[in-house]
């Protein structure tokens, strides 16, 4: 085995299957960029790796077909490449587990929070998103699907009220939370700023644009794209279709525009029509289904000890899930929903954003008296204006 020690920025050329492979510096990487109608973009990252996602998929898949081990698999890869293997076994035969063995990294920027939540609506999502706790969102474009004077004014008014509220709360919060002895001023000020952003995030419209990163397997990209291209929001459908085209260009042996009429009709019909959850009579908090097998747990006293003795931030063993599930309904604001979804610990429905159940009182309670009064009047004015924009409840979520 040969070892190579590279100086920063050094370029090395070598060959696999008579194709020149170049290891290079960051500035020379060939990222694939696709532009969106909203002004945002999709970037598939070129990591500069010698072994691409398709190659690593093939190397791992060869374990199911040969006991030669990784050294033999690398020799096969060097002699044959991964192109035909992926076309035949992954795309052609539909062996999805092969696609689980290669990963890609995608950056999706300048899309609405609604689009970001749609992309992240999976327990298998891995990635990050711009945080409302650390970013002021004062310069971010706002996605405005109606795009007329009235709709644009509503969105900008939300932003201006948000920015005004942030500044006022930054001045107020030191009166409520004094600096601890020995605490660094920079640490204290960052905490005050984060608290102000947390309190005021409720005034950001869901149409404000955000950036997200998405790392997942080739298989999951394909599976999620199939669902997202049938999403109720046209913005999400555009992202899905353009991401699919980009994936075909970058990973041409692992993606194809296969369409099955019955599948598309199902995803674009029943699934799309029932995607959003909306219950104007939602309880504040209620256990709506209790499927926990308590008797089964009682038969094994040690299982109870696993629950009671679990240290903080320690995961429970997966097999305990065999003892049941429970369902809850509760009233929650969109910001808190985003927090729940971000952790991917539970399965949750995507809520339809409306004014039917009002503005969560927690955010109003945190404001100064004068700001709270202004907020109540402003929210009511915005509600009246928003209702006049369109009858499309899906589109109204942006505002």
Q: How many residues does the chain have?
A: 399
pLDDT for 4 beyond 60: no
- Give residue-wise pLDDT tens across range 261-279: 999 999 999 999 999 999 9
CA 116 to chain centre: 5
- Give residue-wise pLDDT tens across range 53-93: 999 999 999 998 889 999 999 999 999 999 999 999 888 87
3-state secondary structure 219-281: HHHHHHHHHHCCCCCHHHHHHHHHHHHHHHHHCCCCCCCCCCHHHHHHHHHHHHHCCEECCCC
Q: Closest Cα partner for 385 from 111, 38, 148? A: 148
CATH class for the domain made up of 30-129+208-276: alpha beta
pLDDT for 11 beyond 70: no
The neighbour count for residue 124, using CB atoms within 10 Å, is: 11
Q: What is the location of CATH 3.30.1360.170 in the chain?
A: 30-129+208-276
β-pairing, 276-277 vs 350-351, is parallel
Q: What residues have CB less than 8 Å from 55, skipping those under 6 apart?
A: 77, 82, 102
pLDDT for 8 beyond 50: no
Coil, strand or helix: which one is 143? coil
Judge contact between 56 and 98, C-beta under 8 A: no
Strands (E), 32-177: 32-35, 41-44, 103-112, 127-129
pLDDT for 14 beyond 80: no
- Give residue-wise pLDDT tens across range 335-385: 999 999 988 889 999 999 999 999 999 999 999 999 999 999 999 999 999
Q: Quick one: average pLDDT of 293-319?
A: 93
| Residue 288 parent element (H or E) | strand 285-290
Judge contact between 203 and 151, C-beta under 8 A: no
Give the single-character DSSP code of 344: T
- Give residue-wise pLDDT tens across range 93-109: 789 999 999 999 999 99
Q: How far apart are CA 110 and CA 130, in angstroms?
A: 10
């Amino acid at each position: 085995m040969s070892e190579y020690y590279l100086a920063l920025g050094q370029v090395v050329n070598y060959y696999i299957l008579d194709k020149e492979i170049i290891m290079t510096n960051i500035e020379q990487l060939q990222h694939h960029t696709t532009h969106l109608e909203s002004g945002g973009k999709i970037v598939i990252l070129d990591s500069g790796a010698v072994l691409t996602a398709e190659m690593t998929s093939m190397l791992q898949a060869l374990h199911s077909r040969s006991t030669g081990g990784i050294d033999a698999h690398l020799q096969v890869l060097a002699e044959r490449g991964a192109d035909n293997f992926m076309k035949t076994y992954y795309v052609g035969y539909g062996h999805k587990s092969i696609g689980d063995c290669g990963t890609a990294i995608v950056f999706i920027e300048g899309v609405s929070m609604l689009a970001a939540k749609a992309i992240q609506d999976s327990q298998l999502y891995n990635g990050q998103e711009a945080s409302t706790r650390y970013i002021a969102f004062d310069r971010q474009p706002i996605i405005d699907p109606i795009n007329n004077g009235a709709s644009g004014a509503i969105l900008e008014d939300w932003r201006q009220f948000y920015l005004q509220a942030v500044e006022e709360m930054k001045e107020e919060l030191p009166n409520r939370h004094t600096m601890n002895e020995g605490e660094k001023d920079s640490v204290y000020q960052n905490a005050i700023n984060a608290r102000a952003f947390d309190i005021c995030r409720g005034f950001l419209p869901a149409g404000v644009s955000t950036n997200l990163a998405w790392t997942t397997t080739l298989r999951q990209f394909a599976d999620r794209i199939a669902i997202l291209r049938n999403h109720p929001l046209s913005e999400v459908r555009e992202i899905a279709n353009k991401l699919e085209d980009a994936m075909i260009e970058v990973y041409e042996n692992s993606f194809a525009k296969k369409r099955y009429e019955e599948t598309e009709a199902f995803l674009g019909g029943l699934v799309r029509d029932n995607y959003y959850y909306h219950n104007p009579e939602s309880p504040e908090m209620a256990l709506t289904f209790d499927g926990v097998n308590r008797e089964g747990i009682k038969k094994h006293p040690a299982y109870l000890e696993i629950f009671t003795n679990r240290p903080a931030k320690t995961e429970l063993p997966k097999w305990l899930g065999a003892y049941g599930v429970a369902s809850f309904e509760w009233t929650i604001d969109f910001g808190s929903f985003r927090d729940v979804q971000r952790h991917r610990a539970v399965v949750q429905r995507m809520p339809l954003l409306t004014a039917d159940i009002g503005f969560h009182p927690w955010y109003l309670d945190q404001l100064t008296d004068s700001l709270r009064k202004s907020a109540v009047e402003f929210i009511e004015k915005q509600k009246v204006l928003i209702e006049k924009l369109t009858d499309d409840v899906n589109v109204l979520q942006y505002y």
